[in-house]
Amino acid sequence: MTTLTLQNVSRWYGNVVAVNDITMSLGPGVTGLLGPNGAGKTTVLHMMAGFLAPSRGAVTLDDAPAWRNPAIYKQLGLVAEKEAVHGFLTAREFVNASAKMHKLSDPKAATEWALQMVEMTDAADRRIETYSKGMRQRTRVAAALVHNPQVLLLDEPFNGMDPRQRMHMMALLHELGDRGHTILFSSHILEEVEQVSGTVQVMVAGRLAASGDYRRIRRLMTNRPHVFAVKSSDDRKLAVALIAEKSVNGVEIAGEGLTVRAGDYGSFTRALPRIALGEGIRLRKVIPSDESLESVFSYLLEA
């Protein structure tokens, strides 16, 4: 098992602090590195990939430093944000060249495997400069995957992809994560992270604002009301009963069903079925309506 660790890592450019005292440890599975533009995500990824020295702290891959240590690339693959490919090569030549530079025992087989993983086999003999943005991106992922690295870092991998390619890329990342690879991808688009991974590292202004399962992060922020959409067999009767419950801050009767604002996630989710049972009301739908990453994110920004 390979662990990528950042220990009190800071990086500054002159007087500007790009990354401020970040400590995190990444193991197998898919993790999203989330944050607005300029939060320092790319700087963190570059430090993880050995393309930037931390000003302070240590970035290690299984205790080996990432900086000035090309040996880490045996276990690490990087798909940088900048869409740079040798356009004069075909995808097959490009991926095969990567395989050869990794000194793999069977570069041809590895190339075919990687091209299959990203569904690029059909177009693999065309020059890369003739590809669409999504195809180039997948070619780059294939080149980064060809040596089957334990750790794969992707900087904004979904940029420029159409929805179908996006779905496919997400499925691919999931599959790799399920197989025990450590996958970290950055994004400033919340839905991407939400769909791909439950685990997020949220960066805001160079700091690690939150990390862990994003639903859990949301629950921890109890100072904000949690909003639930509730539908039941008798909405008005349920509203009356709910308002007496301590963990409920407000109830609104919407067009269809209720919008309930709860102060404490845990108490409310325990109280709701008890109250419904006591009143003889059948619950039809209970959905935490602001659990999207978007709201988690805006709370963190306000904090």
Partner 1 sequence: MSTVAWITARGLFGRRRVLLLLPLPILLIVLAVICDAAGVDAREWGAPVIVGLGLAVLLPVVALIVGTGVLGSEVDDGTIVHILTKPLPRRDIILAKLGVAVVASAVTAAVPLFVAGVLADSVRFGLALAVAAALGAVAYSALFLLLSLLTRRPVLLGLVYILVWEGLLGRFVSGTRVLSIEQYVITVGDRLSPATDILDPKVGLPVALVMAAIFAVGGTLFAVNRLRSFSMAGETS
Decide: is 231 part of the binding site for partner 1 (CB under 8 A). no
- Residue of the chain from 5, 31, 43, 165 that contacts partner 1 (CB under 8 A): 43
Structure tokens of 113?
A: 């495997």
Cα–Cα distance for residue pair 159/32, rounded to 1 Å: 15
Residue 113: other Cβ atoms inside 10 A: 16
User: Which residue number, 188 or 219, has a Cβ lying nearer to partner 1?
Assistant: 188
Please give the backbone phi and psi of residue 63, each rounded to the nearest 5 degrees, phi first.
75, -5
> Which range, of 50-58, 164-172, 213-221, 263-271, touches partner 1 by CB under 8 A?
50-58
Q: Which residues contact 19 (CB under 8 A, 6 or more apart)?
A: 9, 10, 11, 12, 40, 43, 44, 47, 54, 206
Judge whether 40 and 17 are in contact, CB under 8 Å.
Answer: no
d(CA 207, CA 190): 18
* 77 lines the binding site for partner 1 (CB under 8 A): yes
Find the binder of partner 1 among 8, 23, 25, 51 (CB under 8 A).
Answer: 51
Q: Considering the rule CB under 8 A, would residue 18 count as an interface residue with partner 1?
A: yes
Sheet holding 4-13, edge to edge: 16-26, 4-13, 56-61, 64-65
Cα 249 to Cα 256: distance, rounded to the nearest angstrom:
20
Q: What is the DSSP letter of 90?
A: B
Region of 180 (left: φ > 0; alpha: ψ -120 to 50; beta: rest) is left
> Out of 7, 17, 20, 102, which residue is the one contacting partner 1 (CB under 8 A)?
102
Q: Give CA–CA dist 62/132, Å, rounded.
A: 37
CA-wise closest residue to 252 among 236, 271, 264: 236
Q: Is 220 in the site for partner 1 (CB under 8 A)?
A: no
Identify which range of 24-32, 64-72, 218-226, 290-298 contacts partner 1 by CB under 8 A.
64-72
Interface residue with partner 1, options 9, 48, 49, 145 (CB under 8 A):
49
**Binder of partner 1 out of 97, 205, 221, 229 (CB under 8 A):** 97
Q: Should residue 131 be labelled a site residue for partner 1 when binding is judged by CB under 8 A? A: no
**Interacting stretch for partner 1, rule CB under 8 A, among 42-50, 118-126, 212-220, 256-264?**
42-50
Q: Could you say which of 9, 46, 145, 217 contacts partner 1 (CB under 8 A)?
A: 46
71 binds partner 1 per the rule CB under 8 A: yes
For the bound state, the minimum distance from the C-beta of residue 40 to partner 1, rounded and expressed in Å, comes to: 7
Q: Please select the residue that binds partner 1; options are 56, 86, 284, 285, rule is CB under 8 A.
A: 86
Residue 115 in contact with partner 1, rule: CB under 8 A: no
Q: Looking at 33, 52, 124, 230, which residue binds partner 1 (CB under 8 A)? A: 52
Name which position in 58, 89, 204, 221 contacts partner 1 (CB under 8 A): 89
Count, residues near partner 1 per rule CB under 8 A:
39
Laid out side by side, the sheet with 248-253 consists of 248-253, 258-262, 226-232, 283-288
| DSSP letters spanning 153-202 | EEESTTTT--HHHHHHHHHHHHHHHHTT-EEEEEES-HHHHHHH-SEEEE
Interface residue list for partner 1 (CB under 8 A): 11, 13, 18, 37-38, 40, 42-43, 46, 49, 51-53, 68, 70-74, 76-78, 80-82, 84-86, 88-89, 94, 97-98, 100-103, 143-144
